[in-house]
Structure 1
Amino acid sequence: MWNDVRRAMGVLLVGSLVACAPAVTGSADAGLNAPRVTLEAGRPERLRLVVMGDQGTGTDIQRRVAQGMAAVCAAQGCDLGAALGDNFYPAGPREATSPLFRERFEALYGPLGIPFVMVLGNHDESWLWGGDGADPRGAAAQVAYSRLNPQWVMPGRQYQASVGGLLDLFVVDTAPLAAYLPSVQPQERPGGPWDAAQRAWLARSVAQSVARWRLVLGHHPLYSNGKHGDAGAYDNLPFAFQRGGAVRELYKVACTQADLLLSGHDHALQVFAPQPGCPGTWTAVSGAAGEVGGSRRGTRPAAFEVYGQPGFLWLDITPETLTIRAYTVGEGGAVTMTETARLTKRP
C-alpha cells in the first residue's frame, strides 16, 4: 500500500513540474562540449575491454564482481575498462574530492591498472531523489574527478575515446533523455537544443570515424528484456519524456554505422543480434556489476541473457573479430564464462 501511495505522490509531483515547465526547442548549436581523447591501451592488433555497469553500490556484490574482474584480467588480460553509468548509488557526489571516488572506484578497480572509459547514469545525475536523473551537477563532479585521477576517463559528459586505428568509443549522456523528473536545466530536456546537439554530434562523429570498430556507450539501453524494457517504453511510465523516446532517437543515428551499442540500467547481462529497428548493429546490456534484480519480462530473441546473477562482459577485439564473453560471479566468487557472440569484419 505504501508503495502505491508513494507512486501516486510521485506522479502528482511530476505532473505539477511538467505543467509549469517551459517548452524548450532549438537547433543543434547548443555549445556542446564533446572532447576527443586518445588512449594508449593494448597492442595495435588486439585490445581486451572489460565492461561493467551499475556497479557503484558499495555492496558485497560490487566487491565480488570487482574480484571476478581482477581474476579474469589476470588470466585473460585486460587493456581497457568501460563503466556504463550509475557509478554511485543512490546519488552521485557533488564534489570531485568526495571519499566515494576512493571507496567505490579507486580501491576496487585501481589495482587493475587500466584506464576506464566512464559513462554517466541516472543515479549520477540525481536531484530530488536518487536516480531521478534531473540534475547535471553530479555529472560535473565526475568530469572534474577525471582531472584528478587519469584512470577515470571522462573529459566531458559526451566524448570520443580512440585507441589507435582499431577502436573508437563514443560516450553519450542519456540521463536527461529519460529522467523521471524534468531536468533542472530546461535546455537539456528531450527535444531541446542539448538533445539535438548531442544527437548531431553522435551522427557526425560515428559517420566520420575511420576506426576498424565503432562502439557507442550510454547508460540507458536501446533494447532490453529486463525490468526497464526498450527505449521509448521504459517501465510503462505515465509521461512520454520519462519513457526514453529521445534515447531511442539518439541511438538510431548510430545504427548501421556503429558495430555495437553498450548500455547498463537493467541489472542483467544481455546480448542482442541486430534488430529490424537498428539494422547492422549489435546491442548489449552489462548492468549487473553492483546489483541484480528482476526477471525476464520482454520477449525479444537474445543471443545471450541472464538475470539474477552478478557479472560483467569482456570483449576481445582484433582487426578481424570482436568476441563478446559474459562472466557471471557466484556467491563464493567462482567465475563462469559464456561466449555470447563473435562479430567479424571483412578484410
Structure 2
Amino acid sequence: MIKKTLLLIALSLCPIQCALANVTYTNAVYEQQKIADLSALPKSLNFTVIGDWGHNGHFDQKEVAHQLEIAMYQTDGDFIISTGDNFYPNGIASINDPLWQSAYEDIYHGPHTFEPWYVVLGNHDYLGNAQAQLDYSNKSQRWNLPARYYSKTFTLKDGEQVLMVFLDTNPLNPEYKTREKYKATQAQDGQAQLTWLNNQLATSKARWKIVIGHHPLYSSGKRYGLNEKLRNLLEPILEQNGVQAYIAGHEHDLQHNQTKNSKLAHFISGAGGKIRNVKQRKFTRFAEATPGFLSFSINDKVLKVTAINYKGEVRYSTQKRFDQ
C-alpha cells in the first residue's frame, strides 16, 4: 500500500514526463492527441524544424519531441531539419559519446521522428568534436550531415523543385574570428562557402529556394541588433538569388521576421529545449518564448508555416504565396 501511494505521488509530480518516458505510439494516441488547426497543403512537401534541443531531456525537450512526433504523423512529414546546437553544453566527444543516446536517440524515439534528419552545426557543437557529428551520418540512417555545408533538392508532386541549402554559419560569423572559445570555427575558408552558396542558388532551377543556417540575420530575441555583420555577408546573396525563406536557430524561441520591401521571410526555430525572452520589434510578425518547433508545408503555389508549442497548441500560422 505504501509503495502504491508513493508511486501515485511520483506520477502526480511529473505526469507528462513520466508518461512520455514510456509512451508507445499507437493509432489511438495519434488520434486522441491531434494538434488542432494543423494541416498540410495539398500535393505538398512537409517537414518540421527544431533547433537548440540537446538538453538530455530537460527544459521540456521531451514534451517538444512528443509534439514533434504527433505533428510529423499528422502532416505525413517527409523529414526533420535541425538548426544546430544539437548537444549542450559542449557538443559531443565522438560518435560513441553517451549523449547520442540520452539527448537524441532516446528522446526522438517515435516512428515518425525516424524520418530523415537534415542537420546543421551550431556554435555549441563546435565546443566538442564537430567532425564526429558528420561521421555519425555513417552510423545512423536518419542523421544526415554529409559536410559542413551542403544542399539537397526535393521534387514536389507536380514536378516543381524545392532547393534547400544547409550552411555552416559559424565560420561566417565575424564575432567568432576574435573569440578564443570559438577558434575551431575558423579552420574553414568562409569565402569559399559564400562562393559555393551563390553558385548553388544562381544555377538552381528550383521554384522554391530555402536556406538554413544556425545564426539568424534578424532577431526579435536576445541577439536583437547583433546580427548586422553576418547579415551583410548573407542577405545580399539571398536577395539577389530570389531566396524565399531563411531558417535559423540560435535564439531559444520561435520567430517570424519580415523586413519592409523584402520578399525574404526569416524564421527562427530554436526552442527545442531551453527558452529565452523575446520582444516585439519593427520587423516582428511573430515571436514567442515557448518550447516548440515549426511545421512547414510547401506546394507549387504556397509555403505554409505553423508554430507549435510543447503543449501541442498552434501559436501562429502564416502562408506565403510563391508570387509574393
Instruction: State the TM-score, normalized to the length of structure 2.
Output: 0.78
1:198 corresponds in structure 2 to 193
Q: 1:85 to 1:187 in 2, by over 3 A?
A: closer
Structure 1 residue 60, shift from structure 2 partner: 4.4
2:257 corresponds in structure 1 to 272
Question: Which consecutive residues of structure 2, in runs of 5 or more, have no partner in the other structure?
Answer: 1-39
- Alignment of 1:336 with 2:310, yes or no, is no
Structure 1 residue 344, shift from structure 2 partner: 1.1
Structure 1 residue 75, shift from structure 2 partner: 2.4
- Alignment of 1:96 with 2:126, yes or no, is no
2:183 corresponds in structure 1 to 184
SS state of the match for residue 150, structure 1?
coil
SS state of the match for residue 224, structure 2?
coil
What are the superposed Cα offsets for residues 146-172 of structure 1, whole Å, 9 maximum, x if unpaired? 111121110001000221243211111
Structure 1 residue 108, shift from structure 2 partner: 2.2
Letter matched to residue 107 of structure 2: L
Which segment drifts farther, 171-180 or 200-209? 171-180
1:301 corresponds in structure 2 to 283
Pairing of 1:157-168 with structure 2 (within 5 A): 157-164=148-155, 165-168=160-163
1:319 corresponds in structure 2 to 300
User: Do the aligned partners of 1:315 and 1:322 also contact (CA within 8 Å) in 2?
Assistant: yes
CA distance in structure 2 between the aligned counterparts of 1:143 and 1:247, rounded to whole angstroms: 26
User: Do the aligned partners of 1:323 and 1:339 also contact (CA within 8 Å) in 2?
Assistant: no
User: Do the aligned partners of 1:260 and 1:282 also contact (CA within 8 Å) in 2?
Assistant: yes
User: Do the aligned partners of 1:303 and 1:341 also contact (CA within 8 Å) in 2?
Assistant: no
CA distance in structure 2 between the aligned counterparts of 1:61 and 1:187, rounded to whole angstroms: 33
User: Do the aligned partners of 1:220 and 1:247 also contact (CA within 8 Å) in 2?
Assistant: no
Q: 1:275 to 1:204 in 2, by over 3 A?
A: farther
Structure 1 residue 106, shift from structure 2 partner: 1.8
User: Do the aligned partners of 2:162 and 2:207 also contact (CA within 8 Å) in 1?
Assistant: yes
- Alignment of 1:109 with 2:108, yes or no, is yes
CA distance in structure 1 between the aligned counterparts of 2:142 and 2:184, rounded to whole angstroms: 29
1:29 corresponds in structure 2 to none
CA distance in structure 2 between the aligned counterparts of 1:94 and 1:341, rounded to whole angstroms: 39
Structure 1 residue 293, shift from structure 2 partner: 1.7
CA distance in structure 2 between the aligned counterparts of 1:284 and 1:207, rounded to whole angstroms: 22
User: Do the aligned partners of 1:325 and 1:341 also contact (CA within 8 Å) in 2?
Assistant: yes
More helix by share: 2
User: Do the aligned partners of 2:54 and 2:88 also contact (CA within 8 Å) in 1?
Assistant: yes
Give percent identity, aligned residues only. Answer: 29
User: Do the aligned partners of 1:258 and 1:281 also contact (CA within 8 Å) in 2?
Assistant: yes
Q: 1:64 to 1:275 in 2, by over 3 A?
A: same
Count of matched residue positions in the alignment of Structure 1 and Structure 2: 273
Question: Which consecutive residues of structure 1, in runs of 5 or more, have no partner in the other structure?
Answer: 1-41, 127-136, 235-243
Instruction: State the TM-score, normalized to the length of structure 1.
Output: 0.73
CA distance in structure 2 between the aligned counterparts of 1:265 and 1:227, rounded to whole angstroms: 10
Structure 1 residue 300, shift from structure 2 partner: 2.6
Pairing of 1:208-227 with structure 2 (within 5 A): 208-227=203-222
Letter matched to residue 56 of structure 1: G
Of 265, 268, 289, which residue of structure 2 is paired with 1:282?
265
Of 53, 56, 74, which residue of structure 1 is paired with 2:51?
53
User: Do the aligned partners of 1:166 and 1:318 also contact (CA within 8 Å) in 2?
Assistant: no
Which segment drifts farther, 197-206 or 171-180? 171-180
